[in-house]
Amino acid sequence: MPEALFAFALAIVPIVVTPGASFTLMATHVLGDERGVVRRVAAGTAAGILTHAVLAACGLSALVMQSAELYRAVQFAGAAYLIALGIVTIARRDHAATAPEASAGPRLRIRTAYLANLLNPKAAAVYLTLAPQFLDHRTFTAANLIALAAVHAALTVLWLTLGATALRSLGKRALALPRRAFDTIGGAVLIALGARTLVQAHSGAPA
């Protein structure tokens, strides 16, 4: 099993470092005055990863992946959620610009990152297509799937932490780009991710 964990860690790295909803959520909040952003995004994302592993172990993820209707429903729900997050993020920028003395909007919550990950069909597919390649018929158990998910979650937390450190370092060097511009860019990225999923769901293409 240690060899399987190490091999899975190497295989999952490209997926972890590919920018997605969790990284975008972190990036759009980490330069503000809000505390604990990385911790909440990391906790929500890790919880989502572990949930996918548990669902895969229970066979529920397989049911969704095998049913075109259920899979498309998850795609539509995930797309709507990301687009809504993007709109809220951009609106937060506008609120801060018109009322700088007020709060920049609601704090980012753990459940926001959790739902962004949970409603991502690609995250579910990891534990139905990639993870089984590192387990045989004897080791394909719920405990071992969760062990792989723990490795996945740990690498994701590390990546988010490194990304936040890099962004804060750039912020301290007085980027020409105002902080509120990150809300606009981050919101646009979230909307684009949702729109891509929406188009894929409508066309029937895999996410």
Look at the block and give the residue holding tokens 């969790």.
22
- State the pTM of this model: 0.75
State the Cα torsion 130-163-155-9 to the nearest 10°.
50
How far out from the chain centre does Cα 203 lie?
23
Cβ 48 vs Cβ 123: under 8 Å: yes
Q: What's the helix, strand, coil split of the chain in %, to 5?
A: 80, 0, 20
C-alpha distances in angstroms, 65 versus 1, 74, 127, 138, 144?
27, 10, 11, 23, 21
Q: How far apart are CA 33 and CA 53, in angstroms?
A: 34
pLDDT in tens, the chain (207 residues): 788 899 999 999 998 988 888 888 888 877 665 678 899 999 999 999 999 998 888 876 666 667 777 777 777 877 887 788 788 777 765 544 444 444 445 567 898 899 988 888 788 888 878 888 887 767 778 888 899 999 999 999 999 999 988 887 776 665 555 556 666 777 787 788 778 777 876 676 555
Domain ranges within the chain, ordered by starting residue: 2-10+19-203
